[in-house]
Chains A and B, each alone.
Chain A
Amino acid sequence: MSFKDTPKDYITLNENDQQLTHNLKKNIEMIHEYLCQTEDLMVKKMSFNKVSCTILFLDSMVNKDILQSSVIGPILEKKSGEIQDVLKATELKFSSNISEVGASLLEGYCTILIENDEIAKSVVVGEIAARSIEEPANERSILSSHDGFVENLSTNILLLRRRIKSPQLKVKFFTLGKITNTKVSMVFIDNLANKKILEEVERRITFIDVDHLLSIGDIEEFIEDNPHSPFPQMLSTERPDRGASYLTEGKIILIVDGSPRILIVPITFFAFYQSPDDYNSRWISGSFFRFIRFFSFMISISLPAIYIAIISFHSEVLPIGILYSVRVSLEYVPLSPFAEAILMQIILELLKEASIRLPTPIAQTLGIVGGLIIGTAVVEANLVSNSMIVIIGLTAISSFVAPINEMGTSARLLGFPVMIAASCFGFFGIVLALMVLVMHLCKLESFGMHYFSPLAPFKLEDIKDTFVRLPIWKLKTRPTDSQPVYKQQQRFTRGWKNNKY
């Protein structure tokens, strides 16, 4: 089969596309047939304009109150007139096509079929069973807004639109997945987002040809540039304020219906170490937090490796005082530093993995047993040295500092190859491993844009909102990593200083 431009074509093409007829009974039959005789298809017979008419709806998909008040009630009351005027509907669809009728039934419409009329009227009466808007559990904030995206696509767009009330905010829909027919939307600011990136994202999305698309992770793997890289090349977040701020930088948001996380493209490495809180605290503390986060990345990648290298290769680096205390703690430990580190890292990962899905009270117990009891016992049994516990503990904590959890996990995983390199070649191994890592970061691209910007290529003007957060009135231009159409984002905000009346 040749490739079709829009995935929507699949739906109409795949089914035997029949037209509705004048015969009411046959029409109902056909719809039943189309939906495989499913038993939650309700058929309610009524009469209108003294002709028999039928209301069909999927019992599970509609809100009975709306159905009653906007469709059944008016028909029973008026009994005659133009059907369009009688129905109290916000959205009314006409179609004579069985697959279209079927699709709208599946989306929560109810369909009205009238005798001697081959056009079906569909009215939206869908039930929205969505969780209420609440703060995302994995991206809590202290100073920023406390709402989060939910599983419902239109609620998510609402959250974005409420923040950016611009006529330029554009939404594009795709339907992906032959079985699931999942709605995917692409949100961007039309006169700001780079057209080349837009085209590229659209091009990649149209290539997705799958049966089921259930979550944002699927789409991420389908369209990312380098699927084998340890670094995430798209930022997924549950925070609408974050999403909105990236929209105003000219980036593009992808939302999948049924997933509370949204994807932001293109993204840079440093975005993973920024948080909306930075902009709501004073700029000095904001900059300080940024610095702490980058420091945490360095620690979680290289601290155990440096320790291993020092202990097994270059103990002369340490001054005599520190060397002595480290050596004492190592005295009775039979394992090599590398084995120690791996052992402790694995214990830590086990604890984390075990406690993450348990209910809170049990998880607490686990924390006590794992953290306190195992920790002290392991040292007392001379399996692992005291200093190693300190190192691994620091590493673990700093890997959880990353505001986006994905990046923290990547950093922790990258610690392993660096540790191996350190245990084989000492400092040289660490430098080599980090060098290859930086090379990889330089090579990596997110939708054709530089992933390691603004460091490589170096752009001084973008540093102001990367490693530090300068006062907001200093940030006169947007970050250029996504190449927005125009750069200036504010004018003389503090002009009042020179302009006294």
Chain B
Amino acid sequence: MFFVLIQSQIGIGLFSLPNVVQEPAKGDGWISIILAGVGIQFLLIIYWFLLKRFPDDEFAQVIQKILGRTLGKILNILIYFHFIITGSLSTILMVKLLNLQLLPITPSWMISFLIISASIYLTISNLKIIAKFFVLAFTLIILLLFLTLFTFSLPQEIQFILPVGHSGIKNILIGSNNALFSMVGFEAILFLFPFIIQKNKGVLKTISLANIFVTGFYTFLVFICLISFSPDQLNQIREPVTYLFRGLSFKTFARVDLIFLSLWVVPMTTTIIAYLFLASKSISNEERSYKKNVVINGIFIFLISLIPHTDEITTQFTKYVTYLSYAVIYVIPVLLLLVSIIYKKHETGETT
């Protein structure tokens, strides 16, 4: 559980994170991340209250129960789109990154085809197996943490982030806003909740821990990037984290960043797997249709990932996805909770 959440949160967003945060918030980017993490924590608590009312229903049914059939269906479709599009965006960014750094000549459709087929292969099995794989993939994140320790040997300048808070609250908040896309994925809990066997206080603790871990991890990385590169450099570099490792070199490996980037394919793929899983789960009720949906959604994501090529389209796309995320992540759950409180709709009394 812990690992599934972490894996769906950490992924492609990591690379550009320092860049997007730095733009408005300058040296205070790391504060933005922490703020974003705090915000997410609030959201998680809201989710928790909502889910506690309907412990055995899948999220799609919860929506229909609260808002009625038609409205519920519309919202479900919206959520489904959110998952598909976020999944596609992750794929696009990942393929772009790989094309840029690792495989300049290989056609991008080939890369996305390979990644998505691998994702389908895992997603088509059940949640238990996906969770098993995510746990293994988590070791790679530990490896990254370990690698970052080496970067302290590089020249760094603490003054880049001083004085703390110099860029103003407004800019810091805008930075948090930008960081949000990198940190989405926690909404997975809405769909995973019915599958958790022991539903007590432990769940909230687990998801909070996952959130704290992700926030801490990101803050740490952004902090390192901020003190390693000057603001001017950061504006030019699109993926500062990889450049961070480029500076590293050992006796036997001259280019750590290449190896790191290749290994990072796995966490990036897990993000796609998570979205593919969520998308398929959100529209399918039974076992058989789930498998079919996984394949269909995989093809969807593949097709969407073929469309945008230029940077501008991608930026536009990212913008829309962020708006959609806002709707799905903030608005819908809060709305649902309010409605369910007002109309006193909950199921704990009925089922027990």
Write the residues of chain A forming the contact surface with B, with a CB cutoff of 8 angstroms. Answer: 313-314, 316-320, 322, 425-428, 430-432, 435-436, 438-439, 442-443, 450, 452, 455-458
Contacts and interface: CB of A to CB of B under 8 A. Distances in A.
Given A428-B103, A438-B136, 13 more contacts: A314-B255, A316-B254, A319-B251, A319-B252, A319-B253, A425-B111, A425-B114, A426-B102, A431-B263, A436-B118, A439-B121, A456-B132, A457-B135
Contacts of B266: 431, 435
B98 interface: yes
A314 B128 CA distance: 37
Contacts of B269: 435
Given A316-B255, A435-B266, A439-B122, A428 B133 contact: no
Nearest to B122: A439
A435 B132 contact: no
9 contacts: A317-B254, A427-B102, A428-B102, A428-B103, A431-B265, A432-B115, A442-B133, A443-B129, A458-B136
Nearest to B115: A432
B251 A457 contact: no
Max count, chain A CB within 10 A of own CB: residue among B106, B135, B258: B258
Contact of A317 (B133, B251, B258): B258
Given A318-B254, A425-B114, A442 B132 contact: yes
Given A319-B249, A319-B251, A426-B103, A439 B265 contact: no
B60 to A, nearest CB: 26
Contacts, number: 81
B262 interface: yes
Contacts of B114: 425, 432
A427 B252 contact: no
Given A425-B106, A432-B115, A436-B118, A456 B258 contact: no
B262 A455 contact: no
Given A319-B249, A428-B265, A442 B136 contact: yes
A427 B111 CA distance: 12
Contacts of A442: 122, 129, 132-133, 136
Interface SS of chain B: helix
A443 B106 contact: no
Nearest to B117: A436
B348 interface: no
A432 B102 CA distance: 13
Interface of B: 98, 102-103, 106, 111, 114-115, 118, 121-122, 125, 128-129, 131-133, 135-136, 249, 251-255, 258-259, 261-263, 265-266, 269
Nearest to A424: B106
B248 to A, nearest CB: 12
A226 to B, nearest CB: 12
Contacts of A430: 262
Contacts of B136: 438, 442, 455-456, 458
Contacts of B128: 457
Contacts of A443: 122, 125, 129
Nearest to A427: B262
A421 to B, nearest CB: 9
Nearest to B135: A458
Interface SS of chain A: helix
Contacts of B131: 457
Max count, chain A CB within 10 A of own CB: residue among B103, B121, B252: B103
Contacts of B102: 314, 426-428
A496 B131 CA distance: 44
Nearest to A322: B252
A439 B132 CA distance: 9
Nearest to A458: B135
A317 B259 contact: yes
A442 B102 CA distance: 28
A317 to B, nearest CB: 5
Contacts of A452: 132
A301 to B, nearest CB: 16
Contacts of A322: 252
Max count, chain A CB within 10 A of own CB: residue among B125, B129, B135: B129
A129 to B, nearest CB: 49
Given A319-B249, A442-B132, A456-B133, A428 B111 contact: yes
Contacts of B252: 319, 322
Contacts of B249: 319
Contacts of B254: 316-320
Given A427-B102, A428-B102, A316 B133 contact: no
A450 B263 CA distance: 25
Nearest to B269: A435
A299 to B, nearest CB: 16
B49 to A, nearest CB: 30
Nearest to B132: A456
Contacts of A432: 114-115, 118, 265
A319 to B, nearest CB: 5
A455 B134 CA distance: 11
A443 B129 CA distance: 6
Contacts of A457: 128, 131-132, 135
A335 to B, nearest CB: 21
B9 to A, nearest CB: 19
A452 B251 CA distance: 34
A427 B121 contact: no
Nearest to B252: A319
Given A431-B262, A452-B132, A455-B136, A425 B253 contact: no
B98 to A, nearest CB: 6
A320 B261 CA distance: 21
A439 B255 contact: no
A431 B252 CA distance: 20
A101 B135 CA distance: 60
A137 B115 CA distance: 44
Contacts of A314: 102, 255, 258
Contacts of A318: 253-254
Contacts of B118: 432, 435-436, 439
A445 to B, nearest CB: 9
Given A319-B252, A432-B114, A432-B115, A450 B103 contact: no
Contacts of A439: 118, 121-122, 133
Nearest to A314: B258
Contacts of B263: 431
Nearest to A429: B114
A442 B262 CA distance: 21
A431 B263 CA distance: 6
A210 B255 CA distance: 58
A457 B254 CA distance: 35
A322 B253 CA distance: 10
The 4 A-B residue pairs whose C-beta atoms are closest, nearest first, are A427-B262, A456-B132, A319-B254, A439-B122
